A and B are shown apart, each in its own frame.
Chain A
């Protein structure tokens, strides 16, 4: 077969330009909800909307901000306490069952906070006799204090129990490898393990831990089901009620815009804080992990793992199984039909969103790698941040804004206009992709960063165009990252509630909306079976990611 001897061109050629345009278009589309919301901050409100905004500011906003802040700070603190010691002991010591516990420590991510809240109902009801006692013996003021404290405490404990894995995962990668090597260097300079942890290992781990805590904070901000179930009015609940309760979408958009600006400022702060520390962490030459010395350290190893697992995995699973054994939760034939339909919808939504996210991520990140354009790099960065930093409710409002603008540009009667009106599910998919694109993008970006540019250069010198090089070299090497990204997006989409509630077409139920609906209707036990489906689906995905090491950047740790 004749060899095609192509001389490598310095200019990239026609096909790359097309891809570049596509990458730009995708990036802008993904950013459009955020752009629309930020633009709405500058458009004047209608008189009705202005009045609603006034009322919001006077009566609702302060409490909403206060509740949101307390919940975020409390959950972050407790997630830190649960996640960091576990990560440290798992990375620094080798003890029997470590690998199994390491995987189990991640699994609470399979349980969405709203399901954890529902499953904790019976446990919380056990507090009622205590509260009654306080009320009768110490009066109503003390009772109110206790009631509020316990309400906050329960929700913070719930959030921390199922969200600490973000901190655990961040800590696990931060404490491994060079953290251990530098720890030994510190020990040889005469400092105790405790002192070395605080002066060397913890400062170096801080940026990663802050990133993990940021994810916890975003999840708490994004939550709707759990906070509503426990009677809170956070910013997300206020957004919901402004939109549906007051029917003031413009006011809701303005509030969403302000929330976005605040989050972006926090993201900028976090990036700035991370950028300040020039932490070149090398991973080579990691010593063999020792067994824990002494009974005390061994006990600490196990306790640090078992406490979070008990709170975040064993307790909710036990409640779920307990409920499933009750007759009240046995679904009727009609209910089974509902559940299977919802599961099917979740699967289809998950698959479509996953494929779209991955393809978009490949195109955008791939082009960024080959192109020298700073603007495109910034755009890809912005669309990544905008997604994960925006709560689902905010994205939904942004999508509605885009939909309204699109209908203005393409009115009913035109072919595009009709398509836009009828394509209800498409807006939901659009919103989900906008929100979870960042998960796929980060996995692809990390996967590409691991491939040295020498590979591309070698294949280009052998005659491949950039596209061929990407297809034949980069793409196969990206397989673990793609599989990891696909699984994580799929799990996140299955768990998503606010977006599905807000943007789903009529009579389109996913597992999460079905569960929410059952509880909303007062039939809380009926949520047990669909919850089992949802949690099992998510757990399988998470176990696959952990077992195959798709999340890790370096080789799998020794078992």
Chain B
């Protein structure tokens, strides 16, 4: 039984939890093409997980419509139960069933499949994520990374029309996260699944998604390609998500709006009136491949953080000028 990947259309969906004053999701609207991966990124509490729960059917939105391919999943007067939506979900904690083996976990969603087909699908997927041979083990016998891979293929096994991933790598350390990210994207491309990938790690969002949606206070504040989000953030909130951001008062007119610049968009040189700001170095952090220099501007505005190559040398207390990177 093959379910082809479908497009997802979300139209003005709003969700407020019972006994809650404010909406968790507010008039969200976007369209995702078949086999596309959309990364949804935002701070904790921005509404990302609530959006996933609304799309999965685990929560019922008060307003709006959700359509998967040709099927209306949720709308005025219509609501399809989560188990009937053909949507897969991978959660942060994996949620493997502790009393079932890995094989039983992976084939749990394969209802009415022939036994031989179930076995083949399970073995193929285990091999695809590098876990061949572990079918008879139990979840508690796996490491964190292994368990998360099993959770992924369990959700993919029934070939869902849409896959939802809710911060699937958050419980893992950085190196493991990067490794799993690569494996995940490989498998998703191979399966050609349409994917909604929620994370609060900006590098995961940029690396995984074909498109990125930034959520803030229950709304989407920018929806664009990863490169556009990085190079042209629509607002300070978007920019701040992807790196530390400096507010530099425009020296040409104090009444003008400040510039919002990331620490890699500015550099240090000798003092001069043409610089964005002049000041004293207050701290130097050596971070291996680069240094983080903190400068206190003369006009007593907020401290500026700049990224410079490791081979440049500075001293504490040295007077420097901040300018844009060419």
Contacts and interface: CB of A to CB of B under 8 A. Distances in A.
B99 A186 contact: no
Given A182-B97, A279-B99, A285 B111 contact: no
A192 B81 CA distance: 9
B95 A279 contact: no
A277 B93 contact: no
Contact of B154 (A189, A200, A203, A278): A189
A300 interface: no
A377 to B, nearest CB: 23
A184 B59 CA distance: 11
A94, A189, A288, A291: residue with the most chain B Cβ atoms closer than 10 Å: A189
A192 B99 contact: no
A280 B89 contact: no
Nearest to A191: B83
Interface in A254-283: 277-282
A284 B167 CA distance: 15
Interface residues on A, range: 20 to 34
B81, B89, B98: residue with the most chain A Cβ atoms closer than 10 Å: B98
A190 B82 CA distance: 7
Interface residues of B, number: 29
Given A94-B18, A190-B83, A203-B99, A181 B88 contact: no
Interface string B252-277: 00000000000000000000000000
A278 B111 CA distance: 26
Contacts of B194: none
Nearest to B107: A189
A285 to B, nearest CB: 7
Given A280-B98, A288-B17, A188 B93 contact: no
A200 B86 CA distance: 19
A182 B95 contact: yes
A278 B98 contact: yes
A278 B82 contact: no
Nearest to B138: A278
A41 B291 CA distance: 79
Given A279-B98, A287-B58, A288-B17, A190 B158 contact: yes
A189 B58 contact: no
A187 interface: yes
A367 interface: no
A190 B91 contact: no
Contacts of A184: 58, 82, 89, 95
B109 interface: yes
Nearest to A193: B83
A288 B95 CA distance: 17
Nearest to B82: A187
Contact of B97 (A188, A192, A200, A291): A200
A204 interface: yes
B87 interface: yes
B140 A181 contact: no
Contact of B89 (A94, A185, A281, A288): A185
A205 to B, nearest CB: 11
A94 B138 CA distance: 33
B165 to A, nearest CB: 12
Contact of A188 (B83, B92, B99): B83
A279 B138 CA distance: 10
A187, A190, A203, A278: residue with the most chain B Cβ atoms closer than 10 Å: A190
Contact of B99 (A189, A196, A277): A277
Interface in A124-169: none
B155 interface: yes
B108 A186 contact: yes
B56 interface: yes
Contacts of A94: 18
B196 to A, nearest CB: 13
Interface of B: 17-18, 53, 56, 58-59, 81-84, 86-89, 91-93, 95, 97-99, 108-109, 111, 138, 140, 154-155, 158
Given A190-B86, A288-B18, 9 more contacts: A181-B91, A184-B89, A185-B91, A188-B88, A188-B89, A189-B109, A196-B83, A204-B98, A280-B140
Interface of A: 94, 181-182, 184-193, 196, 199-200, 203-204, 277-282, 284-285, 287-288, 290-291
5 contacts: A187-B81, A187-B82, A190-B111, A200-B97, A204-B97
